[in-house]
Structure 1
């Protein structure tokens, strides 16, 4: 009895494998010649669609500038004039220079007033 069950299981395994097998590709019915494959390769290289290494993936389109050189230089000069040109990591993110709205006399008056009535806890509580 065990042999019959084993034979049935083996038969169903083989049958299911053949059912799940891939159907033949209809495009592969007419194989390409070597010359056709070489022509497709040359065309792909010319179009920039051929990935040479992992560094090329995903393929990015080639950059095409929409501005003239004079426009780019003018924009650069504007950014330099505003002081927004980052030249290293220490300048990131850009923070415009602080410009006080108070006069020196106003700041000194605030200091005198603070010294008369200082904050009893101070800025640091010491906890």
Structure 2
């Protein structure tokens, strides 16, 4: 019984392999691709256009930068930005934080100081209170 099953399985495997091979060869005949010469021409054209990327260095390809301002306009914008304090110089000023504006009066702050001196909590500083 086992030999019979083995022979049937082998016959099915051989038949299915032949059918698959025939389907692949039929598909290969039906596909009309480009010739080698056409592919080489397209490659030459892509190199000439600059649309051929090699590796990750120039991917994604960005359009060439075209300035819409004159040098004088850019210098004037830089002067204005410097005057407003918008130009960062090094890491010490990054990110630019808004200027602190207190919401409490001087009397309120002094009252908080007196209260703290009565009941100091040295761990409160580290707990974020």
Check whether TM > 0.5: yes
- Measured against aligned partners, the alpha-carbon deviations of 1:1-43 in whole angstroms (never above 9, x if no partner) come to 3323302222213312442565454232x4427xx836852x4
**Structure 1: stretches of 5+ with no match in the other structure:** none
Q: 2:32 aligns with which of 26, 37, 44?
A: 26
Once superposed, what is the RMSD of the aligned Cα atoms? 3.5
Structure 2 Cα separation of the partners of residues 84 and 56 of structure 1: 32
The TM-score with structure 2 as length reference comes to: 0.63
Q: How many residues align?
A: 118
Specify the alignment match of 2:93 in structure 1.
91
**Structure 2: stretches of 5+ with no match in the other structure:** none
Which of the pair has the greater relative contact order for Cα pairs under 8 Å at 6+ separation?
1
**More helix by percentage:** 2
Q: CA deviation at 1:82?
A: 0.8
More off after superposition, 92-101 vs 5-14 = 92-101
- Measured against aligned partners, the alpha-carbon deviations of 1:49-68 in whole angstroms (never above 9, x if no partner) come to 12133212222222222222
The TM-score with structure 1 as length reference comes to: 0.64
